[in-house]
Amino acid sequence: MRIARFALAAALTLTAAPALAAVHLSLSGVVTYGTDNGYDIPGLEAPFGSTPDETNADTGETFGYVVDRPFTLDIVIDTSKGVPETVFYGGDQFSNYLKGLDADNPSHATFTLGDITYAFGDPTDTYGTGILEKYRTTDSGEGLFAAVETFRGRPPMDGLFTTLYADLSVNIFVPPGTFQTWEFGEPLTLSQMALGFGNLNLDLQETSGTPDNEVLGRMRSAYLNLRIDSLSLTSDTAPAAVPEPATWAMMILGFAAVGATLRRRQPALV
C-alpha cells in the first residue's frame, strides 16, 4: 500500500504544470494629437477617415488632424515565441525581455479609433518584429514597454491589394511596488489619466497589376500620439502536459520495483 501511495505521489509530482501561453494587454486612452492624411478620391480617404482641414487642389491630397479622440488597443504576446532574456541589476531591480522577428515575432496588435480597426503583427505578414519588456529599475521606476513593427506586402497575385505598414510602441508606468514578480503573466489592472504614452505610425498603399508588373498607388498615412489611461493585463495558460498511458505504466512499475527492492533488504547488523 505504501509503495502504491509513493508511486502515485511521485507520478503526480512529475506531471507537467500548465505553461504560460499568451499575455493580453488591453489598453484604452485618448489620441492627444495626430495627423491623418489621404486623398479626396473614393477609396483613398485618410486611414482613420478624418475630415480634412486642407486639400491640395492639384493632387487631391488631404491633410487631416486627430485631437482628443478615444481609442482602444489590444496587444497579444505569444510567450511560446521570441527569445526571452532577464537582466537583474541587484536587489529587486530587473528587466525582463521577450523579443522576436518574422515567424518568431511574439506580438500582434489590434487598434480601434472610432469605427475603424486595424490589425497588424500577424505571422502571415511579410515581416514583423515585436517586443515586450517588464522592468523595475532605479532610473526608470516600474513599467511595461511593448512594440510591434510590421509590413503586410502584396502577395504574388493579380488585382488590387492594400499594403500596410505599422509601427506601434507604448510605454506604461506603474506605481512603485506594483510588480511582485518579474514574470510576464502577473495580472494587472490600473486606471488613471496619463498612465502611459505611445505612438502609432500607419501607412497604407494600394497596388494593382500582376506579380510581374506591379503598380504602386498613392501613400496614405497617419501618425498618432497616444495617451494611455487604463490597462488590463491577463494571461492564458496552456493545458498541462499529461503523460501517455504507456508512460504512466512504466513509471508505476519502476516505482514498485524500487519499493520491492527496499523491502527485501535485511536490517544491518550492529
Would you say how long the chain is, in residues?
A: 270
pLDDT at 10: 45
pLDDT at 21: 85
Give how far Cα 179 sits from Cα of 53, 146, 186, Å. Answer: 45, 16, 8
Give the whole-angstrom CA distance, residue 59 versus residue 52.
14
Give the whole-angstrom CA distance, residue 159 versus residue 234.
41
Q: Could you tell me the mean pLDDT of each successive run of 10 residues in the chain, 270 residues long?
A: 45 49 96 97 94 94 97 96 93 94 95 97 92 93 96 92 97 94 93 96 95 91 98 81 52 53 48
Amino acid in the structure at residue 100: G
| CA of residue 252 relative to chain centroid, distance | 41
Give how far Cα 95 sits from Cα of 54, 77, 123, 139, Å. Answer: 45, 17, 26, 12
Give the residue carrying C-alpha cell 499575455: 23
pLDDT at 245: 56
Give the whole-angstrom CA distance, residue 26 versus residue 32.
19
pLDDT at 18: 52
pLDDT at 142: 95
pLDDT at 6: 43
**Cβ–Cβ contacts within 10 Å for residue 38, how many?**
25
What pTM was computed for the model? Answer: 0.81
Give the whole-angstrom CA distance, residue 183 versus residue 20.
10
Give the residue carrying C-alpha cell 522577428: 101
In sequence order, which residues have a C-beta less than 8 Å from that of residue 80 and are 6 or more positions away? 21, 106, 238
